[in-house]
Structure 1
Amino acid sequence: MVKYRFEQIAINSTEKKKPVEEDRFTYLGLEHLDSGSLKVTRFGSEVAPIGEKLVMHKGDVLFGKRRAYQKKVAIAPFDGIFSAHGMVLRPREDVIDKSFFPLFISSDYFLDAAIKISVGSLSPTINWRDLKTLEFELPDLATQRKLAETLWSINDTMETYKKLIAATDELVKSQFMELFGDPKTNQKGLPILKIGEFGKVKGGKRLPKGESYADHTTNHPYVRVIDMVKHSVTIPALVYLTQATHEKISRYTISSKDVYISIAGTIGQVGAIPDSIDGANLTENAAKIVLNEGAPVDRDYLIWYLSLPAGAEQIEEKTMHTTQPKLALYRIEEIEVLVPPIAEQRSFAAFVQQSDKSKFELEKALSELTATYKRIIAENLG
């Protein structure tokens, strides 16, 4: 392979214009770019963007130079304008194949090197004067074309899986609306209760100072937010406490009948723990919703409700956004829940659980494809 400076690989187009009213329809900002996807699915602005923007043409590669750690790279879907916090890049086709170029720019090989030269603390930014001198190894053009053919085939399949995953989420939302209507307008006149009216919210406990986790031979699991995934707990990721530590915080345990919710860091992860780890200790960054005896709300229905827009939006509204976002326990008790008949709640929860199984399989397949994609890149670059 041959080593090139980045300015020998790419052209940084700096053509700019001051937007006029009609430019709002073809405007792309960094907020429109999705990490890990070269395709643009959102665009436009309600009003004409303010300040000079970069001119882009269909097929250009758009690179978010501000907060580059977010790894936002996309192909311009049409002629228009792009955020000045990005770069508009074009390939030097004597060095890099045009079909391989966007794959190269979106690769960890390129992005990891670019991120290292970011400057600034609050919003680290990459400057062209630093980026252009970085050196990268590239295979010959014939090899690039073969790689592009393979990688684009994988990429297209990955995008198909993403669409199917999104469609599964939309199916759940539409099923909820069909059965129960919009919770905001409550056209069906269903009862609305606050969580505090049918349950009690309790917080977890910080691991005692000086205490440490034991190995996985004990029987006192400690559930952290990092162990929590949507609707469940990843059992292999659990850490375990010593007997002494367990006894110190054992009253902060969670039952498989409870609903957990993360209240710090990644706010709003909601789920339940499996029966096999009933009595696990609860971290201070999570809370449990203990349902009252005979509560008119099914546990699984509540989990799904809090994960759907009806609940997620309330969680966001009630979260205190400071340096460390935090959701107070009393605010959780204020969340309003639409309460249809219990049999209908359980029927909906069963439907969503089945949909979630299908989604899990899709996500697993997507993860495997992504790993294959990255492996091929790593084996052929650098």
Structure 2
Amino acid sequence: MAKFTFGQIAKEVRLTYNGDKTDIPIVGLEHIVPKELTVTNYDINTNNTFTKSFKKGQILFGRRRAYQHKAAIATFNGICSGDITVIEPIEGMVYPALLPFIVQNDAFFSHAVQGSAGSLSPRVKWEHLSSYEIELPSIEEQRVLAEKLWAAYRLKESYKRLLAATDEMVKSQFIEMFGNPLSSKQKNELKKLGECCCINPRRPNITLHDTDKVSFVPMSAVSEDGHLLDILDEEYGKVKKGFTYFENNDVLFAKITPCMENGKGAIAQGLTNGIGMGSTEFHVLRPINEISSPYWLLALTQMPVFRERAAKNMSGTGGQKRVAAAYLEHFMVGVPSIEEQRHFEAIYKQADKSKFELRKSIDAIDQVIKSLING
């Protein structure tokens, strides 16, 4: 093993594009997905001032807000934002296929964040990135390591595709059983959503002491695919004011942009003492016994068409746009029988079990990748 600085194995590419931008792929930071190894998204024929050129196979590193872990291999030629550093390997110094994993390593991003300057939009310069130190084996050993890493990554991507397919299956099942919730023709009697569930129910009289624990759910603890993540316990007295109250089996719906558009929402389950306190940016939908199931409510409110319609009815400006409770109250929906809803609930839960196992496999692969890089 020999020690190198990053600047000894890779170089920054600074090429300017001055030609016609018609049909040329344009990449901004928003097109790079955090912790993904390849970039496949881009815009074309949009107004922009970008002039930095890149080629297929080069690494696009998001130098602004590096803590977002945005760095990926370009799968096409194009033009990118000035907030992206274009990187390529130095021939003979590093096996090219290994370089993306070196860049995506947590230690590399930690180094980048430490050297970032600026308050609202911290940026890191190439001079700092190039000072990162790493130990590397021979080129042949690097080749073997890169092949193992890419094999693991491809397996991970196949599991992620299965995850996405499972989500689509649930949505398709919802449409098949209940129809498009925005269609003028419904299989079941139309009712206001506010008649099918209690929206933002009042907090009842609670016998808890201030030192008793309840679950605390910030917006960051709600996923975009219907789950609660990393729920914390907090003393009731510390959160009883200024937060949203909910109980087990209530459905949380993120009302503020961009969380609403991104699909944040979940069923509250396993709450400490059966009580949760969370962000004021949640609407709470409480199922009504024998009328609605939390899984039907969650699936309905997570349907892309439901969120798209809700987005058109938001009020406010900029990043402070919100879906009003009245919109949910008056949303007209065909209400299936509780037996049909429970049948759908069984399908949803089975899909959730499959997704849980897929996530475990993905996490295990991530650990293998980390161990190979750090080993």
| Common fold by TM > 0.5 | yes
Cα deviation for residue 162 of structure 1 reads: 1.1
The alpha carbon displacement at 1:102 in A equals 1.3
- Deviation at 1:158? 1.0
Following superposition, the deviation at residue 292 of structure 1 comes to 4.2
- Encode CA deviations 1:169-211: one digit per residue, 9 max, x unaligned: 1222233333344333344465444432333323788xxxxx9
What is the CA–CA distance in structure 2 between the aligned matches of 1:221 and 1:227, rounded to whole Å? 15
The one-character-per-residue Cα deviations of 1:279-319 (angstroms, maximum 9, x if unpaired) are: 32434545532344553x33320022122213444555547
Conserved? CA contact 1:59–1:75, under 8 Å: yes
Q: Deviations over 1:78-112 (max 9, x none)?
A: 22323332122110123211111111111112121
Measure, in 1, the Cα distance between the counterparts of 2:368 and 2:122.
30
Within 1, Cα distance between the matches of 2:304 and 2:274? 30
Mark the CA change 1:371 to 1:289 in structure 2 (over 3 Å): closer, same or farther: same
Q: CA deviation at 1:70?
A: 1.4
Equivalent residue number for residue 206 of structure 2: none
* Correspondence for 1:347: 343
Matched, 1:103 2:96: no
Q: SS of the residue aligned with 1:11?
A: strand
**Letter paired with 1:271:** I
**Does the 8 Å CA contact 2:12/2:87 hold for their aligned counterparts?**
yes
**Which of 301, 309, 330 is the aligned partner of 2:296?**
301
Within 2, Cα distance between the matches of 1:157 and 1:327? Answer: 39
Match of 2:147 among 143, 149, 153: 149
1:356/1:53 CA distance change after superposition, 3 Å: farther
Partner of 2:91: 93
Q: Does the CA-based 8 Å contact 2:181-2:306 persist in structure 1? A: no
CA contact (8 A) 2:193 2:331 kept: yes
Distance 2:273 2:192 in 1: 26
2:27 is the counterpart of 1:28 = yes
Q: Secondary structure of 1:99's partner?
A: helix
Return the alpha-carbon distance in structure 1 between the equivalents of residues 337 and 21 of structure 2: 51
CA distance 1:323–1:103, shift in 2 (3 Å)? same
Contact 2:217–2:232, Cα closer than 8 Å, also in 1: yes
Q: CA deviation at 1:165?
A: 0.9
Q: In 1, Cα distance between the equivalents of 2:201 and 2:337?
A: 29
Query: Which runs of 5 or more residues in structure 2 are unaligned?
Result: 204-208
Instruction: Please provide the CA RMSD for this pair.
Output: 3.5
Alignment partner for residue 368 of structure 2, among 353, 365, 372? 372
What is the CA-CA distance between 1:74 and the residue it aligns to? 1.4
**In 2, distance between residues paired with 1:157 and 1:28?**
27
Q: 1:99 to 1:291 in 2, by over 3 A?
A: closer
Q: Is the 8 A contact 1:38 1:73 kept in 2?
A: yes
Partner of 2:70: 72
**Could you say which residue in structure 2 is the equivalent of 1:217?**
none
Query: How many angstroms apart in 2 are the aligned matches of 1:119 and 1:65?
Result: 10
Q: Is it true that 1:140 corresponds to 2:137 in the alignment?
A: yes
User: Cα gap change, 1:2/1:336 in structure 2, threshold over 3 Å: closer, same or farther?
Assistant: farther
* CA distances 1:19-77 after superposition (whole Å, capped 9, x unpaired): 635334x33332222112112343333x2452233222221111122222211111111
- Displacement of 1:370 after TM fit? 0.8
Are positions 1:222 and 2:226 aligned together?
no
Extract unaligned runs of 5+ from structure 1. Answer: 206-210, 215-219
Q: CA deviation at 1:240?
A: 5.5
**Conserved 8 A contact 1:154-1:373:** yes
**Residue equivalent to 1:356:** 352
Structure 2 residue aligned with 1:63: 61
The residue matched to 1:184 in structure 2 has which SS?
coil
